[in-house]
Structure 1
Amino acid sequence: MAEHVEARWRYEGNVPTFDEYLENGLFTSAARLSFTQMMIAMDEADTNAYEWDEEKRGIFATASRCYMKQHKVSRKEAIKAFQEMIGETWKMVNEGYMRPTPVAHELMRVGLNYQRMLDFAYTDIDHYTKPEKTFKHLILKVFAYPIPL
């Protein structure tokens, strides 16, 4: 259903509000935190790093466009807001990881490592959809040519 919503937005050339985009994204992303993690590079990147391929491919409902439309702000202000969201999200993740919980620590570590992987995968460029840039090389180092212990 959520993919249908995104397809309709694209077909109609509609840019939803950021809240609508984020709510729908909860179902189309791999994890609830994936949205902010995909933009984790904003801490050090400039605005050119956010001319996402999605926009070039005609996908109108990008996070930055939705946020800019809803809050009537510039791209620079949207990026600053995303940086703040990312910082707050990392605080919540780290605090949650440190709290006593009935969930096994090993399971929590899997979730934390998943978020770290997303952080790495989407730093500076989208390594996931463009693995030939650096991601492929790093994966080969880890799996094909591991360091003997």
Structure 2
Amino acid sequence: MTIVDDTYDVYGTIKELELLTQAIQRWDISYIESLPEYFKAIFNSIVELLDEIIELNAGNGESDLVLQCLKQTLSHYAQGYIDEARWCHEGYIPTYDEYKVVASATTAYQTLTIMFIALGEFATKETLHWFEQQREHAASAVECCMKQYGFSEEEAHEFIKKDINNYWKDMNEEYLKLIEYIPRPILDCIVNLARICEFLYTNFGDKITDCALFKDHIMALLLDPVVV
């Protein structure tokens, strides 16, 4: 996913990325036959990953449904990236509402959750259908918010913080409501992915891009002894 992210952000032209998106969405490598070899390597890696998941899942009788869901979420993922690439190419700053729709795909949140569900006893028809029903169908969120509402950067930060808090309230409420009906590990996966995202981008930083921000956390986790 990191390689796909960087390809759309940095390495591909719009024409190349359009073809890569079509190849992923139509599951057909012929769209990128004319492109450099690394595009084919990316596509083949995605195919191999799905083949491995399906092979691990072969015993439960839901392989076709799992494959359909995985292809659909990867299609959604690629569409989000090409939308962001077009915005960047055109110099377009979307509204905050437009940004949230596309960012819901490019965070890979749905893709990672579907892959988690697909591995093991959770890949049932009922669980996959429930998750599909929950889905909502490259400027920063702050810039988009400033544009849509005419906010200063500080005002946009406060607005987004309130938005995040409201989403956490919704998530916690749904977690408690669904815990009797949906396997707890699946709900935990969804909540924990949200916690990871919040950790990575807390205070509007970016620990993925600026790895130095990780240093103290890695030290605390792996090197500094815990005094009991």
Q: Say whether the fold is shared (TM-score over 0.5).
A: yes
Q: Does 1:102 align with 2:181?
A: yes
Once the two structures are superposed, residues 73-127 of structure 1 have per-residue CA deviations (whole angstroms, 9 ceiling, x without a partner) of 2222222211111111111121122224411112211222222222222223311
Once the two structures are superposed, residues 23-42 of structure 1 have per-residue CA deviations (whole angstroms, 9 ceiling, x without a partner) of 1212212227xxxxxxxxxx
Normalised by the length of structure 2, the TM-score is 0.45
* Counterpart residue number, 1:56: none
* Counterpart residue number, 1:7: 85
Please give the secondary structure, in 1, of the residue aligned with 2:202.
coil
Q: Does 1:132 align with 2:132?
A: no
* Counterpart residue number, 2:101: 23
Out of 10-19 and 70-79, give the one that drifted further: 70-79
Q: 8 Å contact 2:175–2:187 — kept in the other structure?
A: yes
CA distance in 1, matches of 2:142, 2:217: 29
CA RMSD after TM alignment:
2.6
Q: 8 Å contact 2:109–2:193 — kept in the other structure?
A: no
Query: Runs of 5+ in structure 2 lacking a partner?
Result: 1-78, 111-137
Q: Which amino acid aligns with 1:114?
A: L
CA distance in 2, matches of 1:73, 1:113: 31
Q: 8 Å contact 2:96–2:144 — kept in the other structure?
A: yes
CA distance in 2, matches of 1:87, 1:6: 25
**Pick aligned residue for 1:114 from 193, 196, 220:** 193
Q: How far does residue 139 in structure 1 lie from its aligned partner after superposition? A: 3.9
CA distance in 1, matches of 2:144, 2:161: 16
* Counterpart residue number, 1:72: 150
Structure exhibiting the larger radius of gyration computed from Cα positions:
2
* Counterpart residue number, 2:161: 83
Q: Which amino acid aligns with 1:18?
A: Y
Give the 3 Å change call, closer, same or farther, for CA 25–136 of structure 1 in structure 2: same
Give the 3 Å change call, closer, same or farther, for CA 144–80 of structure 1 in structure 2: closer
Q: How far does residue 143 in structure 1 lie from its aligned partner after superposition? A: 5.7
Identify, as 1 or 2, the structure richer in helix.
2
Give the 3 Å change call, closer, same or farther, for CA 143–104 of structure 1 in structure 2: farther
Q: How far does residue 15 in structure 1 lie from its aligned partner after superposition? A: 0.9
CA distance in 2, matches of 1:113, 1:98: 15
CA distance in 2, matches of 1:76, 1:145: 35
Give the 3 Å change call, closer, same or farther, for CA 74–4 of structure 1 in structure 2: same
